[in-house]
A and B are shown apart, each in its own frame.
Chain A
Amino acid sequence: MIIQTKIKRNAYYDSVTLMLISRELQKLTGVEEVLVGMGTDLNLDLARDLNLATSDFDTLTANDLFIAAKFDDSQIDMEAIEKAFGEEINKSAQADGDEDYQPSTLRAAIDHLPGANLVVVSVPGQYAAAEVEVALDAGLHVMLFSDNVLVEDELRLKQKAVEKGLLMMGPDCGTAIINGKPLCFANAVKRGKIGVVGASGTGTQEVTVQVHKLGEGISQAIGTGGRDLKEEIGGLMMMQGFEALIADPETEVIVLISKPPAASVAQKIYKIAQTSPKPVVIDFVGGDRAAIEAAGAIPCISLEDAAHKAVAALRGQTAEDFTSFTQPEREIDRIVKNALAKLNRDQTELRALYTGGTLADEAMKLLGYQHQIYSNIPLSPEMAIENLPDGRGHVCLDLGEDQFTRGRPHPMIDPQTRSEFFESFVDEHTAVILVDVVLGFGSHSDPAGAVANSVREVRQRLSLHGKDVVVIASVCGTDLDSQNLHKSVETLEAEKIIVMPSNAQSVRLTDKIMQGIKGA
Chain B
Amino acid sequence: MSVNNLFTQDLKVINIGLKSFYNDLKSQDVTAIQVNWKPKAGGKKKMLDLLSKINKSN
Contacts and interface: CB of A to CB of B under 8 A. Distances in A.
Interface of A: 12, 14, 16-17, 40, 61-64, 95-97, 100-106, 108-110, 112-113, 115-124, 126-127, 130-131, 135, 139-141, 145-146, 165-167, 178-179, 181-184, 220, 240-241, 244, 247-248, 250, 441-442
A181 B30 contact: yes
B36 A120 contact: no
12 contacts: A14-B19, A100-B34, A106-B35, A113-B14, A118-B6, A119-B14, A119-B15, A122-B15, A131-B37, A165-B3, A179-B10, A244-B4
Contacts of B2: 165-166, 244
A110 B16 CA distance: 11
Contacts of B42: 61-64
Nearest to A17: B19
Contacts of A184: 21, 24
Contacts of A442: 20-21, 24
Contacts of B22: 96
Q: Is the interface of B mostly helix, strand, loop or mixed?
A: mixed
A250 B4 CA distance: 11
Nearest to B51: A130
B11 A146 contact: no
Contacts, number: 161
A311 B44 CA distance: 51
B41 to A, nearest CB: 9
Nearest to A105: B35
A117 B17 contact: no
B28 A122 contact: no
Given A118-B13, A122-B16, A181-B30, 16 more contacts: A62-B44, A63-B39, A97-B26, A104-B35, A113-B14, A116-B12, A119-B13, A119-B14, A122-B15, A123-B17, A140-B14, A181-B25, A241-B3, A244-B2, A247-B4, A442-B20
A166 B39 contact: no
9 nearest A-B pairs in the assembled complex, by CB-CB distance: A62-B43, A122-B17, A61-B42, A12-B38, A102-B36, A244-B3, A165-B2, A62-B39, A122-B18
Chain B interface residue count: which class?
35 or more
Contacts of A139: 1
Contacts of A240: 3
A166 B3 CA distance: 6
Given A96-B23, A181-B30, A120 B16 contact: yes
B9 A117 contact: yes
Contacts of A182: 24, 28
A241 B22 CA distance: 24
Contacts of B26: 97
Nearest to A247: B4
B1 A63 contact: no
Given A95-B23, A181-B28, A182-B28, A102 B11 contact: no
B13 A116 contact: yes
Given A181-B28, A248-B4, A110 B36 contact: no
Nearest to B29: A181
Given A103-B35, A120-B17, A442-B20, A178 B6 contact: yes
A299 B15 CA distance: 36
Given A104-B35, A119-B16, A244 B7 contact: yes
Contacts of A178: 6-7, 11
Nearest to A132: B16
A263 to B, nearest CB: 27
Contacts of B12: 113, 115-118
B33 interface: yes
Contacts of B44: 61-62
Given A117-B11, A244-B4, A247-B4, A102 B35 contact: yes
A345 to B, nearest CB: 47
B18 A16 contact: yes
A109 B33 CA distance: 7
A91 B24 CA distance: 17
A112 B33 contact: yes
B2 to A, nearest CB: 4
